[in-house]
Chain A
Amino acid sequence: MRALVVVTGLGLVTPLGTTAEETWNGFLEGRSGIRKIDIFDSDRYPSSRGGVVDRTALPQGTRHDPATLLVLKAAEEAIRQAGPLPERTALVLGSTLGSMPAATEYVRGGCARAGLLREMLAQTQARIVCDRFGLRGESLVISDACASGTNALGYALRLLRSGNADAVVAGGYDPMAEFSFAGFHSLQAITSKECRPFDRDRSGLLLGEGAAILVLERENGKTPLARLAGYGESADAYHITRPDPEARGAILALRRALKDAGLEPGDIDHVNAHGTGTPSNDAMEAKAIREVLGNVPLTANKAAIGHTLGGAGAIEAAVTVLSLRDQVIPPTLHHENLDEACAGIDVVSRRRDCRMQAAVSNSFGFGGSNAAVVLTTP
C-alpha cells in the first residue's frame, strides 16, 4: 500500500501579505495586491502594474537578493509550523528564472561584479535554504516555467512515496524581475487593465512575485493541514509559448492526477485554476476542466496577486490547502461575465462557503508543461 503524504507546514509570501494567514485573509476579503511597480522603471512599458511584495516585511540586514528573501521567509514559516524535521529532509523548489534581478544588475553594472551571476542561479537559493534549515537530503530546482511549483510538489510526493526522503520542503518562488516583465510584454501577454480570469473582457495577465513552501511528510502523527493525494503531469508538444487550444496536454495531466489520487471526477469539489487571464490560456483550461471534471466551482488567484511564475503553482496549492481547511472558496477578483469560450465552468466571483473534501490545483507552463495536484482534507 502506498504511503499517505500530508502537508504539515505551510508558508506564503505574496503581494497580499508576508504570512500564510495575511495572504489568505487578503484573498477572502477580495483585496488586490496589484499596484504600480516601483522596483524598476516600469513607466517605460505599456503597463506599469503588477503584484509586488511588501519588501519591508522581508528579513532586513542581509546581503541576500529578493528571490532568496522570498523563499527564506516562506520556508521559515512552513518549517516552524511543521516542527522538527527528520535528517533525510529534501528540498524541491520550482522557479522560472531564479534570481534574474541579480543578472540584470550584473549586466547593468557592465558585467563587473561576477558574484551577481552566481547569485542569479536558482541553485544558490536552494543552497541557502538547505544550509539555513540544515536540510541534508536531496536538493533539486525544477524550472518548468509556470508549472515549476506544481511539479516541485509532484516530485516531492514521489520522493516520499518511494521512501527516498522522510520529509520534503517543497514549493516555488519567483521575484518581480524586469527581465520577465519585458519578456511577457514582448509576448504581448500583459494587460494594461485588470487581470480578469475567464471573463469575456479579459485581455491578459499581470505579473507578480511571491513564494510558497509546503512541508510534506508521510503520515506520522503530526496534525496535518491536508493530504497531497495525487499528481499528474504531461507535455503539450504543441508550441514553445502557446497552449494547445484542444487542451490535450492539460486533460492528460488532470486525468493522470485523478488516477494517481484514486479518485473519480465526481469526487472533486473545487478547482484552483491556473487562470492567467489571457484569452488563449483560459479558454484552453476551461475546456480541460469541463471535459474532465465538469461544472466544478473554481477560483483563480492571479487576478489578486499577479502571475508569480515559478511561485504560482505552489502558492495556488497552498491556497487550496487553506480552502479545504476552512471550507471556503475565495473569490476570483474582477470576474464579472463568463466568456462564451469558457462556458460550462463555475467561476466563483464572490467568497463561497461550501463543503469540500477534494480539490485540484492546475498549472500550465509555456514550453508545454502541464501539471495538476489533488489535495484532500486529512
Chain B
Amino acid sequence: MNVWITGIATVSKERTLESRQARRMARVSRFAMAAAGEALRDADRKPDPDMGIVCASTHLSTQYALEFHQGFLNEGKPTPGPILFSNGCLNAAGSHISLEYGLTGCNRNLVGGMNVGIHALGVAARLLEDGPCSAILCVACEEISEILAGAYRKFRLAPPMTLGEGAAAVLLEKENRGRGVRIGAFHTAHGPDIRHDVEGRTIAQALEAVGPAELYSACANGTELDEMEKRAVETVLPGVPTFRVKDSLGEGFAFTSLAQVTGAIASNPGTIVACSYDRTGDVSAVRLG
C-alpha cells in the first residue's frame, strides 16, 4: 500500500482539552480528541479540510448510554437530555474530531470487537488510497464505565480480564515526510469462533497474508485465547520477538488494538506485524515498515 503513518499517539489518561465542545463530550470522545491532537502534533501537520477521520470503538460511551437509559426508564422522563443521546451514539467521537479540526474528507465510524482498531487502520489506508482525502486520522477509543466493568465481571472470564481505557491515533498520509512508517500489507477476515479454532488457523492465515516481520505486536489479552495466538505465531513467525501492550494498558478493545500499532512503532523502527482478533472470529493483521 502506498500509505504512510506519519504521526502516532497513545493516550491512556484524561487530558485537559482546550476545545469548548469537550465539556459536553463523553470521556471516550475526550480520549479520542486528545489522541487525534497528539497524532497531528507528532506528524507536525496542521489539519486541512480535505482530511478525513476514521474512528473505531467497541462500546463507545456506555456511561452516557446508561445515563440516557436511566432518564427514560427510571426517572420516567420521556425526553432526557439530547446531549446524552447525541454523545451516546456510536459516531460521536469521530464526529467531534471532524468538527474540532474541520475535517470534511470523510467521517467514518466503525464498531467491532477486539480487532477493530487494526481493522480501522486498514479501512483508513484503503480510503486514503482510493478516495479524495488528503490525509486520514485513524483513532480507536474506549472508556471503562461501571456498567461495562460490571458486565465483564459477570462474564466470569478465566483468567479475569483487566480492563483498560484510552485512545490511540495515527495520521495516515500518501507521502512519507521523512520519518513515516509504511503500511506494507493489511488483511482481515472472519473465521469460526476463535475459541473453537484451537490451532489458531485464522490467525495464522492472517499472519501469512501480511508477510514476515522483525517484531510481532501481539493481541495477547491474557484470556483463554492466548494459546491459539502463540501457536499461530510459532508456526508463521518462528523466533520473532513479541511485543505486548495489554500488560501495561489492560484490555481496551478497539483502543488497545490500535495501540498495538502505535506502541510497536514507538519502540521499534523495523518491520512490524500487528494482529488483533476477537472471539467472534474476526481477525485483522497489518505489516508496517
Residues of A within 8 A of B (CB): 44-46, 91, 95-98, 103-104, 106-108, 111, 114, 117-118, 121-124, 126-127, 130-131, 135-145, 151, 155, 158, 161-162, 164, 178-179, 182-183, 185-187, 233-241, 248-249, 252, 256, 365-369
> Which of B95-103, B170-178, B258-266 lies at the binding interface?
B95-103
B85 touches A249 (CB 8 A): no
> Which of B37-45, B147-155, B231-239 lies at the binding interface?
B147-155
B106 touches A235 (CB 8 A): yes
Given A183-B85, A186-B85, also A178-B72 (CB < 8 A): yes
The winner among B85, B101, B106 for most chain A CB atoms within 10 A is B106
A144 touches B109 (CB 8 A): yes
A138 CA to B152 CA in the complex, in Å?
27
> Which of B2-10, B63-71, B217-225, B240-248 lies at the binding interface?
B63-71
A140 touches B119 (CB 8 A): yes
How many residues on the B side are at the interface (Cβ–Cβ under 8 A)? 72
Given A96-B89, A114-B151, A130-B190, also A187-B107 (CB < 8 A): no
When C-beta atoms are compared, the residue in chain B nearest to A112 turns out to be: B154
A108 contacts across to B, CB distance below 8 A: 73
B32 to A: closest C-beta gap in Å: 13
Give residues of chain B (66-119) contacting chain A, Cβ–Cβ below 8 Å.
66, 68-73, 76, 78-82, 85-92, 94-96, 98-99, 101-113, 116, 119
A367 contacts across to B, CB distance below 8 A: 86, 89, 91-92, 94-95, 98, 107, 109
Question: What string of 1s and 0s marks CB contacts (under 8 Å) between B112-130 and chain A?
Answer: 1100100100010011011
A124 touches B280 (CB 8 A): yes
A114 contacts across to B, CB distance below 8 A: 150-152, 154-155
A106 contacts across to B, CB distance below 8 A: 151
Given A45-B78, A96-B89, A240-B96, also A162-B130 (CB < 8 A): yes
B70 contacts across to A, CB distance below 8 A: 107
The winner among B69, B73, B192 for most chain A CB atoms within 10 A is B69
A234 touches B105 (CB 8 A): yes
Given A103-B69, A107-B69, A143-B91, also A162-B119 (CB < 8 A): no
B86 touches A366 (CB 8 A): yes
A104 CA to B74 CA in the complex, in Å?
11
A186 CA to B64 CA in the complex, in Å?
14
A179 CA to B86 CA in the complex, in Å?
11
B211 within 8 A of A: no
B69 touches A104 (CB 8 A): yes
B149 to A: closest C-beta gap in Å: 11
A92 CA to B21 CA in the complex, in Å?
31
A139 touches B282 (CB 8 A): yes
Given A186-B85, A369-B91, also A234-B190 (CB < 8 A): no
B180 within 8 A of A: no
B95 touches A138 (CB 8 A): no
A271 to B: closest C-beta gap in Å: 21
Q: Which of A117, A145, A187 contacts B151 (CB 8 A)?
A: A117
B229 within 8 A of A: no
A123 touches B155 (CB 8 A): no
B12 within 8 A of A: no
19 contacts between A and B (CB under 8 A): A44-B78, A107-B147, A117-B147, A123-B58, A124-B280, A126-B112, A130-B190, A135-B190, A139-B188, A143-B109, A144-B91, A144-B108, A162-B130, A182-B72, A182-B80, A187-B85, A235-B95, A248-B104, A367-B107
B98 touches A235 (CB 8 A): yes
A131 contacts across to B, CB distance below 8 A: 192-193, 281
B85 touches A182 (CB 8 A): yes
A122 CA to B59 CA in the complex, in Å?
10
A98 contacts across to B, CB distance below 8 A: 90, 111
When C-beta atoms are compared, the residue in chain B nearest to A46 turns out to be: B78
The winner among A108, A155, A238, A369 for most chain B CB atoms within 10 A is A369
B278 within 8 A of A: yes
A4 to B: closest C-beta gap in Å: 16
The winner among B52, B152, B188, B192 for most chain A CB atoms within 10 A is B188
Give residues of chain B (135-160) contacting chain A, Cβ–Cβ below 8 Å.
147-148, 150-152, 154-155
Q: Which of B66, B95, B126, B280 contacts A240 (CB 8 A)?
A: B95
